Amino acid sequence: MKNKNVAIVGATGAVGREFIGCIESRGIPLASLKLLASARSAGKTQSFRGQELVVEELSEKAFDGVDIVLFSAGSGISKHYAPLAVKAGAVVVDNSSAFRTDPAVPLVIPEINAHRIAGHKGIIANPNCAAITTMVPLWPVHRVNPVRRLIISTYQAASGGGAALMEELELSTRAYLDGKDYPPKVVKYPYAFNLFSHNTAIDMATGYNDEESKVIKETKKIFEDDRIAVSATCIRVPVLRAHSVSMTFECERPITPGEVKALLTGAPGVRIVDDWANNYFPMPKDASGQDDVLAGRIRTDLSDPSGKSISMFVAADQLLKGAALNAVQIAELL
């Protein structure tokens, strides 16, 4: 991104604002930064390095002279505008699900498969937030002792649904504590003090929702291994920011918790939080605002007598490593 003309599509959204923050905090010297959003947001301003940048309306001509475009405005917007950005000469890093399963589009987590960036044809896809949270700490193990089976349960924060869902959690919680009714607006079910299946469509043939299917497919694509058996249960929890994942994985050969800790110690993008004596393990409150994925509760899966399985709990900031930071890291490597 150094000395490039960069544009952000969806600049006023939760991830869009984090794009700006990541570029600023990482000290990346840009030639220019253009902020793009819907007509409703056009004219608003965003602070960037001591300046107030005016948000412009997204249009088909908005990419002239732009080198790199970071998208986070939904798959429909990406499908329409990303090809136009590429046609104008830009490289797109897209945070939506629009291109993730396209065999011609690299799906990249820099700590795992940065080499795939070189094979892009104008568009690079940013993976699903739950997939990133799961795979960053799993990769150091997989590359040494291949994972053959993976079962995960996710605890996904409101941040995964954007600024509107974060606001709904805040307002509904306040109403609940005040003894008032708060009819759900963004999701179907009451959010305060409640859990519910991730608010994406259920596949009537498999029973898996769309979020779960994404994690399954993206794990296989990023690890470049279709032999991995993956099952996922994705749950929305009343946490404002940062996703958590409980995982149990079976390796090709026997493995111990000590070996897993050794592999994760110093691994890029991972920080071990595994204090058994004080029962202190990864928590959303500690992951919020952090670049690393926190990993802990690393223990033998006692249900597997073969000694090949490990259980682990991880947490990561969905808006950072799960979205904006990962995309900015990709753009830096361009």
Which residues are part of the catalytic machinery? 129, 243
Place of tokens 């990133």: 132
Q: Do 195 and 285 have their domain in common? A: yes
Average pLDDT over the chain, rounded to whole?
96
Q: What is the mean pLDDT of residues 148-156?
A: 98
Bridge partners of residue 24, in order along the sequence: none
Q: Do 192 and 227 have their domain in common? A: yes
Q: Kindly tell me the sign of the dihedral angle through the C-alpha atoms of 23, 97, 162, 38.
A: positive
pLDDT given at position 27: 93
Q: How many CA atoms lie within 13 A of 91 on its CB side?
A: 22
Q: Do 294 and 235 have their domain in common? A: yes
Which pTM value belongs to this model?
Answer: 0.94
Q: How far apart are alpha carbons 57 and 41 in whole angstroms?
A: 7
Q: Is the pLDDT of residue 200 over 90?
A: no
Packing angle, helices 14-25 and 325-333, rounded to 10: 50
Q: Is the pLDDT of residue 262 over 90?
A: yes
pLDDT 10s digits, 153-172: 999 999 999 889 999 999 99
Q: What is the mean pLDDT of residues 251-264?
A: 98
pLDDT given at position 185: 94
Percentage with pLDDT > 90 across the chain: 96
pLDDT given at position 154: 98
With beta carbons less than 8 A apart as the criterion, state whether 295 and 137 touch. yes
Q: Do 116 and 140 have their domain in common? A: no
Q: How far apart are alpha carbons 121 and 102 in whole angstroms?
A: 12
Per-residue confidence band for 286, with pLDDT thresholds at 50, 70 and 90: very high
pLDDT given at position 48: 94
Q: What is the mean pLDDT of residues 278-301?
A: 98
Classify residue 58 by its DSSP letter.
Answer: P
With beta carbons less than 8 A apart as the criterion, state whether 60 and 81 touch. yes
Q: Do 136 and 73 have their domain in common? A: no
Q: The CATH number of the domain where 112 resides is what? A: 3.40.50.720
Q: Do 109 and 145 have their domain in common? A: no
pLDDT given at position 2: 82
Q: Do 214 and 278 have their domain in common? A: yes
Q: Do 283 and 159 have their domain in common? A: yes
**What is the longest distance spanned by two Cα atoms in the chain?**
62
Cβ-proximal residues to 36 (8 Å cutoff; 6+ apart), any chain: 7, 8, 9, 10, 11, 55, 56, 57, 58, 62
Q: How far apart are alpha carbons 131 and 84 in whole angstroms?
A: 28
Q: How many domains does the chain have?
A: 2
Q: Do 104 and 210 have their domain in common? A: no
Strand positions, DSSP E, 180-267? 196-197, 229-236, 243-251
pLDDT 10s digits, 43-84: 999 999 999 999 999 999 999 999 999 999 999 999 999 999
Q: Is the pLDDT of residue 199 over 90?
A: no
State the first-to-last Cα distance of the chain, in angstroms, to the nearest integer: 7
Place of tokens 């969905």: 318
Q: How far apart are alpha carbons 106 and 222 in whole angstroms?
A: 9
Cβ-proximal residues to 215 (8 Å cutoff; 6+ apart), any chain: 128, 130, 131, 134, 152, 154, 230, 232, 234
pLDDT given at position 163: 87
Q: Is the pLDDT of residue 247 over 90?
A: yes
Q: Do 194 and 312 have their domain in common? A: yes
Q: Do 30 and 146 have their domain in common? A: no
Q: What is the mean pLDDT of residues 261-271?
A: 97
Q: Is the pLDDT of residue 149 over 90?
A: yes
Q: How many CB atoms lie within 10 A of CB 188?
A: 8
3-state secondary structure of 129: helix
Q: Which domain holds residue 73?
A: 5-127+323-333
Q: Do 112 and 23 have their domain in common? A: yes
Per-residue confidence band for 213, with pLDDT thresholds at 50, 70 and 90: very high
Q: The CATH number of the domain where 313 resides is what? A: 3.30.360.10
Q: How many CB atoms lie within 10 A of CB 122?
A: 15
pLDDT given at position 1: 80
